[in-house]
Chain A
Amino acid sequence: MGYTLNFAAVWRSFDLLLEGLALSLALAFAAILIGAVIGLFTAFCLISKHGLARRPAGIYVTIIRNTPILVLVLFTYFALPQLGFRLGKIESFVFTLALYSGAYLAEVFRAGLLSIPAGLREAGLAIGLTEMQIRTSIIAPLMFRNVLPSLSSTIISLFKDTSLAAAIAVPELTFEARKINVETFRVIETWIVASCLYVVTCSILAALMRAVERRLSLPR
């Protein structure tokens, strides 16, 4: 074992890693934002008593959750253009991760919705609110509070999934790390630094989510 750690070459390209990290965060942010809208809508469909809403939502969630995300990423980028649906690398990845987030967040939100007592909906109805007003003013805000702990781990997991964008050459953190690795041959150093960037970012995300949780916790 005559290997001596030398981070100099990695430090020289550190700005590339940071740019990659910024793109990773942007990808995750965009995908999760779109995914949250899809997930919320899907969650309400999943608990609907109308089969016409429930069944398609169930099929969507089942298909997405039972397909590896890498396969989805490759399918969207390479197969869909054959069917006339062509997107740029970044758009293609955001599209895929948004669909993927939607399915996972739908399950998170669904669990949160089920934990809300039926009496609150009835209290809303009794004062003359419509179902939609009840959803937006009562159910969704409470559900959101309920799911914050599991939402936090889902968001972190989705952020880490952005590393799969490297597979279609999106210049995010993993892709940049691999490039530096190939150019400098400092294999261990490159991946140590990249890993540290992921760990630090995820820890910050978790801390942010805990802060939101504290902020929104109900006084008692």
Chain B
Amino acid sequence: MTGNLLEIRDLHKSYGDVEVLKGVDCTMVQGDVISIIGSSGSGKTTMLRCINMLEEFQGGSIRIDGQEIGYETVGGQRRRKSEKEIARQRALTGMAFQQFNLFPHMSAARNVMLGLMKVKKLSKEEARSIAEKWLDRVGLRARADHFPGQLSGGQQQRVAIARAIAMNPKLMLFDEVTSALDPELVNEVLQVIKTLAQEGMSMLLVTHEMRFAYEVSNRVIFMNQGRIGEEGNPREMFHKPRTERLSEFLKTSSFN
């Protein structure tokens, strides 16, 4: 046991013949806020999705709080854990997606309640009160009974964040959560994430918002062609990039 919240060792992931992660190592401790930046196709979203087993991976290991995620080695053979066990492990993390992915046939409150009732086995009343608390926290208490189709993109994303975080995950994964939003709605979502970060929530964020990554994270990882190209604190990374690739990337990105 190392006391690390997340420990990724030599992570390899391929789609057929195409290797998209070529040996990624990463550790984070409780309270870390890490932004993952890089051009599209560099493997940052894939890395995030391996952490909660939305993607299978072929080599390396991921541990959350010391628990090996997704796979176990039995008699020298690496094999996938049972679906039930994987489902349980997925609840260690919460995830917010680029496309929000709210369940369109459920109100905002029901979206948040579903996992609480089905996974945490809470009663409807308990789930409702937790849902209301979190919707309040993201500024949407008054919209609890609205359906996703009645909410703006920014509001939907905030509900999606509430849905993930209400499950009390050890680690939040944010996958380009502002990319699908109209520019004027980006800020309300970033503000919610910022507040959560300040309260000590551990997070991994894949983002194209360089200014935000700079402000909110205590560490930045630059992914390049399936590997970690560079990592460090945001001040050094953004002002004194050590590699040519990162400095090129920052020139073409919105950070200036």
Contact = CB atoms under 8 A, between A and B. Distances in A.
Contacts of A68: none
Contacts of B105: 138, 141-142, 145, 218
Interface string B110-140: 0000110011000000000000000000000
Nearest to B88: A128
Interface stretch (A54-62, A87-95, A129-137, A166-174): A129-137
Contacts of B115: 127-129
Chain A facing B: main interface SS: helix
Contact of B103 (A120, A219, A220): A120
B54 A125 contact: yes
Given A126-B54, A126-B94, A127-B91, A119 B101 contact: yes
Contact of A142 (B87, B97, B104, B119): B104
B97 A130 contact: no
B27 interface: no
A219 B143 CA distance: 13
Contact of A127 (B53, B83, B104, B167): B167
Interface in A61-120: 117, 119-120
Contacts of A124: 103
Contact of B87 (A117, A119, A122, A130): A130
A182 interface: no
A130 B119 CA distance: 9
A138 B118 CA distance: 12
B176 to A, nearest CB: 13
A122 B101 CA distance: 8
5 closest cross-chain pairs (CB), A and B: A128-B91, A220-B149, A127-B115, A123-B101, A119-B101
19 contacts: A119-B101, A123-B95, A123-B97, A123-B103, A123-B160, A125-B90, A126-B52, A126-B95, A126-B164, A127-B164, A128-B90, A128-B91, A129-B118, A142-B105, A218-B104, A219-B146, A219-B147, A220-B147, A220-B150
Interface of B: 52-54, 83-84, 87-88, 90-91, 93-95, 97, 99, 101-105, 114-115, 118-119, 146-147, 149-150, 160, 163-164, 167
Interface of A: 117, 119-120, 122-131, 133, 137-138, 141-142, 145, 218-220
